Chain A
Amino acid sequence: MKLATKVYPRAIFLLILIILPIAIYKAGNYYAIHVAGLLGIYCILCVGLNVTIGYTGLLDLGFMAFYAIGAYTAALLSIKGVPFWVILPITLFLGGFIRYLIGAPVLRLRGDYLAIVTLAFGEIVRLVANNFDQLTNGPKGLPRVGERIAEIRLFSMVFRDDIQFYYLILFFLFCAIIVSYRLERSRIGRALVAIREDELAAQLSGINVARIKSVAFVISGMFGALAGTIYVHWIGFVSPEMFTFWESVFLVSMIVIGGMGNIAGVILGVFLLVGVPEILRPALGTKFVDYRMIIFGAVMIAVIIFRPQGILPSKRRSLELHPLNTGQ
């Protein structure tokens, strides 16, 4: 009974995600499919970033750097003719490895310092992409004129349409969610939560804090690289201005507003911040798009003050004791 109430809604939701786009596609609304694909990319990014912010409680303000590393590596390799399925493990490894190199010294720092270091790293990656012309073609982005990014091939199928990419993204999002979900419920996941709640107590309980933090940090970096690799194959273009600091902050606000540490909450956050403005765009006009950032800013402040757990709070978090918060 309990299983049924848990599994059925999810299965139905998944079925809708699989079937509905075909109907929309047949109805000729290609733009909606494109937006749905974009939502999927943001979901992969946020599910990944959630491992750092939500589970471990480490604020990362430069997550787009790993999206950029994934996208640029994929673009450079693809131009040379390397197929997607070979590129993918390479970018995943590279994203994770660079994240490890950054994380090893940085994770010793206190939370707010870590946020600043990740911010600085994010900006360094963007500036290098912008200034290192020989490799990245500077602000003009990749691929250069005359080059192109190879298509993704799976058996005899070639991925060209948005609808094909939608299913590809959905598949990888599904994998990402399963990895993240299993991680949260694993021994490592419990250790992460323990670290988030009280680092000292976690250490005294025998958790190797530095190592566990580093594991979470690396896994979430791989998600970023994954999203970047898919994105660049889909859109066929990458340039430094996609990875500004504000894009990283945008991801953080989706997680904070949706519900830190809860996958469903994070996905809701993506839907609210990326999906809803797109749905409202025809009704409210493009003027609305200008106003949305100012609304996000205000909502972010309101959420962190009045509902710090987000709209859909993590179940595990609501079970915890918060002496400081209940005492007010």
Chain B
Amino acid sequence: MFIQQLINGLTLGSIYALMALGYTMVYGILLMINFAHSEIFMFGAYLGFWALSLFGVLHQLLPAYFVIVFVVAMLGAGLLAVTVEKIAYKPLRRAPRLAPLISAIGVSIFLQNLIMLLVSAQSQPYPERFAIKQLQFLGLRISSLQVFIFCLAIFLMVILSLFISKTKLGKAMRATAQNHIVSQLMGINVNNVISLTFLIGGGLGGVAGVLNGMYYGSIKYNMGFLPGIKAFTAAVLGGIGNIKGAMVGGFTLGVLEALSAGYISSENKDVIAFVLLILVLLFKPTGIFGEEVVEKI
């Protein structure tokens, strides 16, 4: 039972962690909560849905179609995130801190209702394009989908870590997170770095959306809200602004949620996530890996 819940938790945690990365990267660079990230996640899930439905017809011809589905969702969601930043956040970069948050809520309302009107207000079944095998050993049940979700998430996280720590662009991102003006003086195009951050964060969110759709088997226009809050909780838990923190926070939250669903009560698992969010913000707002940030005046 314990190990079974642990496995379920790691699967959930993979999705939360991928999504939490988007929150944490944007927060690290712009010090804003990208409230519309949950809609980027939802949009990614829909892109994956359309790509799977479309490529499903072609999948005898294109053996690599599964990869294409993820690339489409990733690019589309990333580009949407960049567009949102350009339209709704960039004009507010010098405004009081609450202004971009309000604007982000506006974006969230807009995108949700756009999908609701254009596609459907009902939840839609996610196409199953590959047979899910149930592996059984030692009394545990693991589906091949769970293994796939976990492996893909780990793979993307490794790539991201390498990108941020080893490449020049990654260095530019780290510098911009520390100080915009000084980075600009060092010849970094801060606007491009911010766009890149939204592209990567949005792309990871999009992948998380597709994985979420596959795991739960259905999608809806408002599917992003709960995972969004939980991924944000994960980002805060790990220390917002900290990449490693978002990964660890995501898995921790996923496992905690699965365990509380298993041992306490499954209908109150969302309450537990929210209570955890409040407790972390109250007692350790810097999270597990976060540094003590001195408030700038």
Contacts and interface: CB of A to CB of B under 8 A. Distances in A.
Contact of B87 (A106, A111, A131, A301): A301
Main secondary structure of the interface of A (DSSP, over half): helix
B97 A111 contact: yes
Contacts of B105: 61, 249, 252-253, 300
A105 B91 CA distance: 33
Contact of B277 (A120, A252, A305): A120
B195 interface: no
Interface residues of A, number: 44
Interface residues of B, number: 44
B117 A301 contact: no
Contacts of A218: none
B107 A308 contact: no
B65 interface: no
Contacts of B101: 59, 112, 115
Contacts of B267: 131
Nearest to B274: A120
Nearest to B101: A112
Given A119-B229, A245-B225, A294-B110, A57 B98 contact: yes
A115 B34 CA distance: 13
Main secondary structure of the interface of B (DSSP, over half): helix
Interface stretch (B52-60, B66-74, B278-286): B278-286
Interface of A: 57, 59, 61, 105-106, 109-113, 115-117, 119-121, 123-124, 127-128, 131, 200, 245-246, 249, 252-253, 256, 290-291, 293-294, 296-301, 304-305, 308, 324-325, 328
Nearest to A292: B113
Contact of A116 (B92, B268, B281): B281
Contact of B102 (A294, A298, A300): A300
Contacts of B268: 127, 131
B107 A301 contact: yes
Contacts of A297: 106-113
B99 interface: yes
Which are the 9 A-B pairs with shortest beta-carbon distances? A297-B110, A300-B106, A297-B109, A301-B106, A294-B113, A120-B274, A293-B113, A305-B91, A120-B277
